[in-house]
Amino acid sequence: MSVRPGVIERYREFLPITEKTPLISLGEGSTPMVLSENIGPRLGCKALYFKLEGCNPTGSFKDRGMVLAVAKALEAGKRRIVCASTGNTSAAAAAYGARYGLETIVLVPSGEIALGKLAQAMAYGARILAVNGSFDDAMTTVIDIVDAIDAELVNSVNKYRIEGQKTGAFEIVEDLGDAPDMMCLPVGNAGNITAYWKGYKEAQTRGMARSLPRLMGFQAAGAAPIVLGKRVAHPETIATAIRIGNPASWKTAVEARDESGGLIDKVEDREIIDAYLMLARDEGIFCEPASAASVAGLLRLGELGVDVAGKTIVCILTGNGLKDPGTAEKRALVELEYVEPDLESVVNLLKKH
């Protein structure tokens, strides 16, 4: 439990829970919707909001779905959870697993996950299997082993993950009083776009929203199977969170795209880094590279023939920038200025520019 209700309690009537489902929480959900000060006005949007999913307890949107998947695992009497991950799912699984006494096993692509995410899985005490292969190899392996090791699978092929993640859409319609015109988000394993679309449709059915948004999903150019219409054997991108070549929720992502009149397109690593730095320097928001793909995509919409002027748009910033300190250190290109600890030295140094 947490003092403010987490997503299970807040949205219990929208979720597949029973009297036996424990109302567990680490304080996930209710994340800030921050109005853009600079990027939105430059684009002529009516209003551009950033939903800061990095403010969740483990620093990413994964907590919304993980809390429900773990609650259902506990309800079913499971003792062990397992997942494959590019890092954030493993951090969330490890946190909720630790808190509620489940053994957590995570399979991650060896040497390919951001430092902050690895640090989290270590701190929470998960067993970390570094797989000699990609995320897609880790995912295939998890599906192969899950029954043999008597564990609950907590990847987004677990339907409770999608159910929990759809609460992001409910929060947005509650904050805005209706759905936005468009919502931009990164697409990796494609669970989140699937979940948001389900959430928006339910919000409309239940009278919480009148309209539905167009969903604009963005993959990294080197890991864009949905855009290309075929698997990518060796996905490559600086945004390690979405370095995925064969998304689990491919079909439902395409449905979300088509039913919403949206699109799934790709953004180059260079555009991702530009958006990542633009968010930090023009908005004061530090998200991880994968999250910045949403804004990189927004910046490309004009080119893609989509008019953003006068529109209300939400970008989902899926994870916290602190997850991946290595990218900031390498790409922000700020040199440390070494100085003696006295007034004269500091003043003289600052005069130089």
Q: The sheet that has 80-84: what strands, in order across it?
A: 127-131, 103-109, 80-84, 152-153
- Helices 250-259 and 191-205: crossing angle in degrees, nearest 10, is 40
* Site for ligand AN7 contains 319 (CB under 6 A): yes
* Site for ligand AN7 contains 164 (CB under 6 A): no
Q: What's the min distance (Å) between Cβ of 37 and ligand AN7?
A: 23
Task: State which of positions 274-293 bind ligand AN7 (CB under 6 A).
Answer: 288, 290-291
Name the residue nearer to ligand AN7 (CB basis): 22 or 250.
250
- Label residue 305 left, alpha or beta by phi (over 0 means left) and psi (-120 to 50 means alpha): left
Provide the total of helices (H) and of strands (E) in the chain, helices listed first: 15, 10
Three-state DSSP class for residue 317: strand
Instruction: Kindly indicate which of the ranges 2-10, 11-19, 83-91, 122-130 contains the residues binding ligand AN7, using the contact rule CB under 6 A.
Output: 83-91
Q: What's the min distance (Å) between Cβ of 227 and ligand AN7?
A: 13
CA distances, 103 to each of 22, 81, 193 (Å): 18, 6, 29
Name the residue nearer to ligand AN7 (CB basis): 36 or 89.
89
Burial of 93 (0-12, 13-18, 19+ CB in 10 A): buried
Of 89, 120, 260, 312, the one binding ligand AN7 (CB under 6 A) is 89
* Site for ligand AN7 contains 327 (CB under 6 A): no
What is the C-alpha to C-alpha distance for residues 27 and 139, in angstroms, rounded to an integer? 28
**Structural tokens at position 219:** 């993959």
* Site for ligand AN7 contains 272 (CB under 6 A): no
* Site for ligand AN7 contains 136 (CB under 6 A): no
Q: What's the min distance (Å) between Cβ of 245 and ligand AN7?
A: 12
What is the C-alpha to C-alpha distance for residues 307 and 2, in angstroms, rounded to an integer? 42
For residue 87, the one-letter residue type is: G
Are 137 and 115 a contacting pair, CB within 8 Å?
no
* Site for ligand AN7 contains 63 (CB under 6 A): no
Instruction: Kindly indicate which of the ranges 6-14, 86-94, 264-272, 338-346 contains the residues binding ligand AN7, using the contact rule CB under 6 A.
Output: 86-94
Of 224, 241, 278, 313, the one binding ligand AN7 (CB under 6 A) is 241
Instruction: Kindly indicate which of the ranges 31-39, 42-50, 190-198, 226-234 contains the residues binding ligand AN7, using the contact rule CB under 6 A.
Output: 190-198
Instruction: Tell whether the torsion through CA atoms of 336, 237, 274 and 173 is positive or negative.
Output: negative
Of 29, 57, 109, 186, the one binding ligand AN7 (CB under 6 A) is 186
Strand (E) or helix (H) holding 51: strand 47-52
Other beta carbons less than 10 A from residue 9's beta carbon: 16
* Site for ligand AN7 contains 242 (CB under 6 A): yes
Size of residue set near ligand AN7 by CB under 6 A? 21
Q: What's the min distance (Å) between Cβ of 237 and ligand AN7?
A: 12
Q: What's the min distance (Å) between Cβ of 31 and ligand AN7?
A: 13
Name the residue nearer to ligand AN7 (CB basis): 192 or 237.
192
Q: What's the min distance (Å) between Cβ of 339 and ligand AN7?
A: 36
* Site for ligand AN7 contains 82 (CB under 6 A): no
Q: Which of 265, 247, 270, 240 is nearest to 90 (CA)?
A: 240
For residue 280, the one-letter residue type is: A
Q: What's the min distance (Å) between Cβ of 93 and ligand AN7?
A: 9
* Site for ligand AN7 contains 21 (CB under 6 A): no
Q: Which parts of this chain interact with ligand AN7 (CB under 6 A)?
A: 60, 62, 85-89, 186-192, 241-242, 288, 290-291, 318-319
